[in-house]
Amino acid sequence: MKKSILTPAARGNLLLILTAFIWGVAFVAQKEGGSALGGLTFNGVRFLLGGAMLAVCLPLLDRIGLTHPCDTRESKKAMWLGGVLCGVALWAASNVQQIGLLTTSAGKGGFITALYIVLVPVFGLFIGRRTTLLTWGGVALAVVGLYLLCMQGESGIGSGDLLVLACAPIFAVQILLVDKFAPHTDGVRLSCIEFFTVGILNIPLMFAFEQPSFAAMAENWLSLCYAGLLSSGVAYTLQVVAQKHTHPATASLLMSFESVFAVLAGWALMSERLSAWELCGCGVMFAAVILAQLPTPKKKGN
């Protein structure tokens, strides 16, 4: 039998880049689908589709060893409690983001959302986690990048930019919740409950504030399927598989390329254009994300 040319770590890195690509292009699907269906309706249907896909795939994933049933009382408790709590956080973050994307570009939305990668270690201070000087440098750069990215000439910061910015700290909380519960249960099952929680919470809201239409859903099936099946279901599964062989710091850095792919997708698929200052802001934001993920140099003698 021939050995694979790629090492497990290299395969994991490639899968994470693919994950980032799927998530980046999803900003276009979210913008188009949300505009046509309404943000609450789009998110509700999207996450119900993602949860249903994971539920259907779980038996196969169990059989090939990528997932494992929760056999202990502790793992089941972590699965349900973690899934619901993560779902509530994701519900709040995704709805704020979706509404914000209606009045900002997919590229800017992708870069502003990427602030959560910098906020995660900052929020970790409140649960006893140390933050390095590199991370603080990343936070400072992110502030500069957001200023350059969001300023729209004399009009200043748009309402959509502020909403997308508001979702970043909520995403940071969601990531910390996943970090707390995922080690104690099966990650895909936790995600499945998380997605169903978002969808179920959105059902009464979408009927109260919007007018869901099956005809409109059928007309926008491509955006719904991409955001629901690929962005939620496939990309999350790829992340779980890839991180078995990739260092967490490397994984976070690779997944931050989601922002780059969001800008490229907005340019290629929606003819979006960014000004020179906004492009500069994108570059500074990306540098902030990279800086925040760099490993701290070890002291000599350790």
pLDDT per residue as tens digits for the range 37-79: 888 999 999 999 999 999 998 998 889 887 888 888 888 998 9
Q: What is the reported pLDDT for 150?
A: 64
Q: Which residues of 180-211 are buried (b: 16+ CB within 10 A; e: fewer)?
A: ebbebbbbbbbbbbbbbbbbebbeebbeeebe
Exposed, middle or buried: residue 283 (CB in 10 Å: 0-12, 13-18, 19+)? Answer: middle
As a whole number of angstroms, the distance between CA 198 and CA 262 comes to 23
CB 55 within 8 A of CB 193: no
Q: What is the reported pLDDT for 240?
A: 66
What residues have CB less than 8 Å from 170, skipping those under 6 apart? 89, 92, 93, 96
Amino acid at 173: V
The residues of the chain scoring below 50 in pLDDT are 1-2, 154, 302
Residue 32 token pair? 């188009």
**How far from the centroid of its chain's Cα atoms is residue 271's Cα?**
23
Q: What is the reported pLDDT for 47?
A: 93
As a whole number of angstroms, the distance between CA 197 and CA 211 comes to 21
- Where do we find the tokens 């900052």? 122
This prediction's pTM: 0.79
Q: What is the reported pLDDT for 202?
A: 95
Give which of 232, 53, 93, 260 is closest to 175, Cα–Cα.
93
CB 34 within 8 A of CB 272: no
Q: What is the reported pLDDT for 26?
A: 84
Q: What is the reported pLDDT for 138?
A: 78
As a whole number of angstroms, the distance between CA 274 and CA 280 comes to 10
Strands (E), 36-146: none
CB 78 within 8 A of CB 184: yes
As a whole number of angstroms, the distance between CA 276 and CA 281 comes to 9
Which ranges of 114-234 would DSSP assign to H, the alpha helix? 115-123, 133-150, 159-181, 187-209, 214-219, 221-225
Q: What is the reported pLDDT for 239?
A: 76
Q: What is the reported pLDDT for 200?
A: 96
- Where do we find the tokens 């021939």? 2
pLDDT digits (tens, 9 = 90+) for 7-33: 777 787 888 889 888 988 887 787 788
CB 101 within 8 A of CB 164: yes
